[in-house]
Each structure stands twice: as C-alpha cells, then as structure tokens.
Amino acid sequence: MLLEHQSSVDRWMALRMLRYVVRQVERWRQEHPEHALLPVILPLVMYHGPEGAWRAPRRVEDLFELPGESEEERAHWRAWVPRFEYLLDDLTAEREEALKARSGPPLVRLAWLVLRYGRTGELARKLPEWVGLFAQVQAAPEGTEHLLVVIRYLLWTGDKAVHDATGQVLHSVLDEQHAEELMRSYGEELIEQGRQQGLTQGLEKGLARGRAESLLRILALRGIHVEEGARQRILDCTDMDTLDNWFDRVLQATTLSEVLDGGAHASRSKDS
C-alpha cells in the first residue's frame, strides 16, 4: 500500500502517484534482482482538505489532451497513453458515524476524525465528543506516546479554541497534573519556540523552523530513525505546505519514506 495524505486538491495527483509507484518498484527491483515479476502496489490518496470534495482526475489518461472530435477517435488515441488510476479516500465526504464505525485500532480512527474535521472549523466543538476514543488510545499499549502525537498535531494545526478543547479532553482522560505537563511540555512550549524564532529570524522562517524541529521530535517519539541527510532536509525546509503535508503523514507513518516521499510499499512480506 502506498498512502499519500492531501490537505489540498492537486490536479496532477494521478501523475504524482504514478511517479511514486514507479519509484517504489524501481527500488524493489534493485533489492530483489532475482525476481522476474513486480509486486502489486496499491496507490491510495487520503484527502482531508477545506476545499470541499476531491475534484482532481484519478486516472492518468484523463490528464492528456487526446486528438479527435469524436469519442471513437479519442478512444483510439487513449490506447497509447499510460493507464494508471489511484484509489481515493475522501474523508470530507464521510460522516462522523461512518469514520467511527470503520475497522481499525483507536489511534487510527481518532486520526481519521482529527484529519476529517481539522480544517473545517468544527474541530473545537467535536473534540470533547471524542473523549471516549481518546481514552481508548491512552489505554492501549504505548498509549501515552500515541496520545502525544495526536496532541502535538492538534496544537500545531489548531487555533485557540482547539487548544482549549484539547486541554479539556486531556483533563478528562488524564489526571490534572499529567494533563498540564503534556500541554505545557509538548504543546505551548513548542508554539512559543516558533514565535520566538519568528521574532529574530522573521515570522515565516521562524515558524517553519519550529515546525521542522517539532516534526523531528514526533519522529523520535514514534521510534522512526532519521539519518543526518534527511534530518537536514527537514530542518532546511521553509515551505509551510510541505511541512503541513509531512505533519499530516506522520500521524500514521511507520517509516521515514512514508513521511517525506509520500508512501512506502507496506507489503514486503508478500514480495515473493
């Protein structure tokens, strides 16, 4: 499975996903030269943006301007262009009840809900309604670490109302002292760092640096190794859209390539 998170509609998504798949199979070929056939990689885009439903073409062939005036003529040319289609999980089209009813561990279902409502203006109102799900995440093995990932995402992407609602949820799930420690050490402190850096380096550059450092901390919390070259790539990034995309992916990523490159083949056990 190759998973790509999108918070904005990209008309050229089909071409991007094709490029990702080709990159993965080329890497697989280098690692498995003895195999004569390639593994199947399922490309999936998960969309949770504020622009409404996903509108970009899902098939590469729809990106080509085909010659001919009739459908019959265009069908002839269509046979000569690449054929590739990605799967789409448009969270913006899903109701809350449907996301809660999906199969998966509590962390994954909570992540779907946070992504679904994170850019809609409804998140602050919704968070207290998910206290039970937060409690399930906390009660699971490594629950505190997983909870930290979600809380950090909420504090970085949310406004003051979301921050207040996050604190309310934490106080419902944890004891007061523990909740305050989490909010202070893993939330407000990081936001303040970004603000202070903005004062000395320029607001945009400072916030980007703070976001990059926070991303590295989340990767460390999740036990994902970051080599020096990748670490420098993250720290040098000043594009907030790119950093936001990396933040969206890190909620469910298990490898660094899933965060930085948009996906990874998760079915290596079936490569034979």
Instruction: Using alpha carbons, select from 39, 42, 41 the residue that is nearest to residue 271.
Output: 39
Q: What percent of the chain has pLDDT over 70?
A: 84
Residue ranges making up the domain that contains 89: 1-93
Residues 82 and 101 in one domain: no
Contact 240, 214 (CB under 8 A): no
Q: How many domains does the chain have?
A: 2
Residues 199 and 242 in one domain: yes
Residues 124 and 246 in one domain: yes
Give the pLDDT of the chain (272 residues) as one tens digit per residue: 899 989 899 999 999 999 999 999 999 999 999 999 999 999 999 999 888 899 999 999 999 998 888 888 888 888 899 999 999 999 999 999 999 999 989 999 999 999 999 888 899 999 999 999 999 998 888 887 888 888 888 877 888 898 888 888 888 887 655 656 666 555 455 555 555 554 455 556 667 777 888 888 888 877 788 888 888 999 888 888 888 888 888 777 788 888 888 754 333 333 43
Query: For residue 196, is it within any domain?
Result: yes
pLDDT at 217: 81
pLDDT at 265: 38
